[in-house]
Chains A and B, each alone.
Chain A
Amino acid sequence: MIFAFDFIILIFMVVAAIISLKVKDLLSASMIFGIYGFLICLLWAEMGAVDVAFTEAAVGAGVSTVLLIATVYNTKRKSSD
């Protein structure tokens, strides 16, 4: 654990979370959620949880983003808020 590294990634995560909820285009929201997943993966790799980081890189950032995009493709891309 390195304080500066953890702190910067956590700040980035908060920013990514807020942007993914604020943006009105749902496709952009899904992609920014994928960025959030990769930031978490980086944080876990740095914490020493390599297995969890691997799983998050494959599942949280990869597959869940694809599932969200598939749903956005089949429904509407615009969101009211």
Chain B
Amino acid sequence: MLEFLEQTLQPRFNFWIYVILMMIGLWAIIAKNNLIKKLIGLSLFQTAIILFYVSLGVKEDATIPIIEKPPAAKQSETYNNSSKEAQNNRTPKEATPDEKKRGMLSEGEKTAKKIYPKVDPDTIANPLPHVLMLTAIVVGVATLGVALALAQVIFREFGTLEEDEVLKVIKEGGVDE
């Protein structure tokens, strides 16, 4: 039993807890009667999913996704020359004019490797989930604002935020203006 816990549960303990959080949110969305409580449940659901995405990008013993030591000045000098050359050679006759125009691989992989010391991807956390979830958080609060606005309008019309009372009023034929 202990072995089972160590081997299967411990490496994935965070995913288990994310599922638990998500289920708390889902339960609140379905079962709670108050609309504000439903919205809190919706936010819990959303944060559980965001947590899941971010934790997919975690690497053991990796640092934050900011490159610590940029190449030295001498190297950037070489880079400047190469880019000016690439700029001068910006003619359609070149073999790969598109790549040169964008400044990618302007001198080929070989020189690029020499100028920029290669970063080991295993030492830096995966930046892609961070980017996707960063925008999702901001959009999440904007949509939470829309939901809260709707809740306030419902309160203005029906005088309550409880779902069953609102449904009762609707069944009886709505509010008279």
> For residue A60, which residues in chain B have a CB less than 8 angstroms away from its CB?
47, 137, 140-141
Task: Give the shortest distance, in Å, between B84 (CB) and chain A (any CB).
Answer: 33
From known contacts A51-B134, A55-B134, infer whether A81 and B21 are also in contact, taking CB-CB under 8 Å: no
A67 touches B54 (CB 8 A): no
Interface size of A by CB at 8 A reads: 44
B residues sitting closer than 8 Å to A (CB atoms) are: 10, 13-14, 17, 20-21, 24-25, 28, 32-34, 36-37, 39-41, 43-44, 47, 50-51, 54-55, 57-58, 60, 62-66, 125, 129-130, 133-134, 137-138, 140-141, 144-145, 148, 151-152, 155, 160-162
> For residue B47, which residues in chain A have a CB less than 8 angstroms away from its CB?
36-37, 40, 60
Bound together, the chains give a CA A44 to CA B133 distance in angstroms of 11
Residue of A nearest to B160 (CB): A76
From known contacts A67-B148, A81-B37, infer whether A52 and B24 are also in contact, taking CB-CB under 8 Å: no
Task: Give the shortest distance, in Å, between A23 (CB) and chain B (any CB).
Answer: 10
Bound together, the chains give a CA A33 to CA B141 distance in angstroms of 13
Most chain A CB neighbours (cut-off 10 Å) among B17, B28, B60: B17
> For residue A81, which residues in chain B have a CB less than 8 angstroms away from its CB?
32-34, 37
> For residue A18, which residues in chain B have a CB less than 8 angstroms away from its CB?
24
B130 touches A21 (CB 8 A): no
A residues sitting closer than 8 Å to B (CB atoms) are: 1, 3, 6-7, 10-11, 13-14, 17-18, 20-21, 26, 29-30, 33, 36-37, 40, 43-44, 47-52, 55-56, 59-60, 63-64, 67-68, 70-72, 74-76, 79-81
Residue of A nearest to B155 (CB): A75
> For residue B66, which residues in chain A have a CB less than 8 angstroms away from its CB?
50
Task: Give the shortest distance, in Å, between A5 (CB) and chain B (any CB).
Answer: 11
> For residue B63, which residues in chain A have a CB less than 8 angstroms away from its CB?
48
A48 touches B148 (CB 8 A): no
Bound together, the chains give a CA A65 to CA B162 distance in angstroms of 21
A75 touches B54 (CB 8 A): no
Task: Give the shortest distance, in Å, between A39 (CB) and chain B (any CB).
Answer: 10
Q: What are 21 A-B residue pairs whose CB atoms fall within 8 Å in the complex?
A: A10-B14, A13-B17, A14-B21, A14-B24, A21-B24, A21-B28, A21-B44, A47-B58, A47-B125, A49-B54, A52-B133, A55-B137, A55-B138, A60-B47, A64-B43, A67-B141, A75-B155, A75-B161, A80-B34, A81-B32, A81-B34
